[in-house]
Amino acid sequence: MNWEAILAPYSQVVEELKVKLKGMRAQFEYETRHSPIEFIVGRVKPVQSILEKAEKRKIPLNRIEQDIQDIAGIRVVCQFVDDIYTVVEMLRSRKDFTIVEEKDYIANEKESGYRSFHMLIEYPVETIHGNKVIMAEIQIRTLAMNFWATNEHSLNYKYKGRIPEDIKLRLQLAAEAAFKLDEEMSKIKTEIQEARRIFHRK
Ligand code: 0O2
């Protein structure tokens, strides 16, 4: 398989979405006193991870583009939980892509303790062969949720998906602690935002 050719439109989508979301972030900074977006990252799933996911889920090679929905992935990281829903609303009102599915793992956290809001979109991109609709996954989470998920992801990698029970339990407790931190920070949100404004004026 010519992976470079297959993945080229996915890279294009990741780059376009990053530019657009960064544009939204900049506009928020000019026009309002607080941007709901802290930072944006994006990646195309490495070929090795695509093949591993396909094998795990018994997806044949000719179905990879349809059945693996996060080959193009964008992550939007926010300061506060309610910023996540502001971003979700903004994405829902956009006309440049179609939302296919939404998964709220904040209201319904995963058993692991994972929290994030996932949006699956269909994004039309122009290629040298014409228009192609590419599926992409946008993950929206707070800094605390991102800290937890990054660490849990590393442990999952280390233990090849079989994290020992005692560490699993610690991770679940850590997920609750991270969520509590988000809740506490939300309660003093106005204070924090004022402090950030004073700091940036200096
Ligand atoms: P990578 O390396 O991040 O690309 P499923 O995994 O079957 O529950 P599904 O249908 O693939 O879920 O989609 P879902 O639930 O939207 O999850 C896809 C992505 O969300 C994952 O991609 C992770 O990035 C993230 N994610 C979901 N659950 C967890 C979790 O418990 N812990 C962490 N750290 N991340 C999670 P990949 O392909 O697994 O991995």
ipTM of predicted assembly, 2 dp = 0.90
Q: Given pLDDT bands bounded at 50, 70 and 90, which one contains residue 33?
A: confident
Query: Average of pLDDT values for 10-30?
Result: 94
Q: Which residue has the higher pLDDT, 202 or 79?
A: 79
Distance from residue 110's CA to the centre of ligand 1 (Å)? 10
Q: Is the pTM of the predicted complex or chain greater than 0.80?
A: yes
> Tokens at residue 46, please?
């490495």
Cβ contact 23:40 at 8 Å: no
Query: What are the extents of the domains in the chain?
Result: 3-201
- Residue 189: predicted pLDDT: 87
43 CA closest ligand 1 atom index: 4
Calpha distance 171→104 (Å, rounded)? 20
* Domain 3-201 top-level CATH class: alpha beta
Residue ranges around ligand 1 (CB below 6 Å): 45, 49, 53, 70, 103, 110, 112, 114, 118, 149, 152-153
Which residue has a Cα nearest atom 7 of ligand 1? 57
Distances (CA, A) of 128 to 2, 12, 38, 131: 16, 12, 34, 8
